[in-house]
Amino acid sequence: DYALHGPVFLQEPSPVMFPLDSEEKKVKLTCEVKGNPKPHIRCVDLKPRDSVHRAQGVLSN
């Protein structure tokens, strides 16, 4: 597909709950996005550490 179009999620990340006292300090978010030109995805932490954590995907062309 050569037509220009903005980013579209083919698979959105699922909500994740992660205990802060967990020994494994990793969380894996899986998503798939298409667009033309190819989108770049970045996750952003929207809350301070002492409250509920949320992340939001940022898409750009």
Q: Would you give per-residue pLDDT tens digits along the chain (61 residues)?
A: 588 999 999 998 888 877 878 888 778 888 899 999 999 888 777 666 655 555 555 555 5
Specify the pLDDT at position 56. 55
- Domain ranges across the chain: 1-13+29-61
Instruction: Give yes or no for a cis peptide into 39 (omega within 30° of 0).
Output: no
Cβ–Cβ under 8 Å, residues 55 and 45 = yes
Range 27-31 contact pairs with CB under 8 angstroms and sequence separation of 24 or more: 29/55, 31/57
The pTM for the full model equals 0.51
Specify the pLDDT at position 1. 59
Query: Between β-strands 5-11 and 32-36, what pairing exists: parallel, antiparallel or unpaired?
Result: antiparallel
Specify the pLDDT at position 36. 94
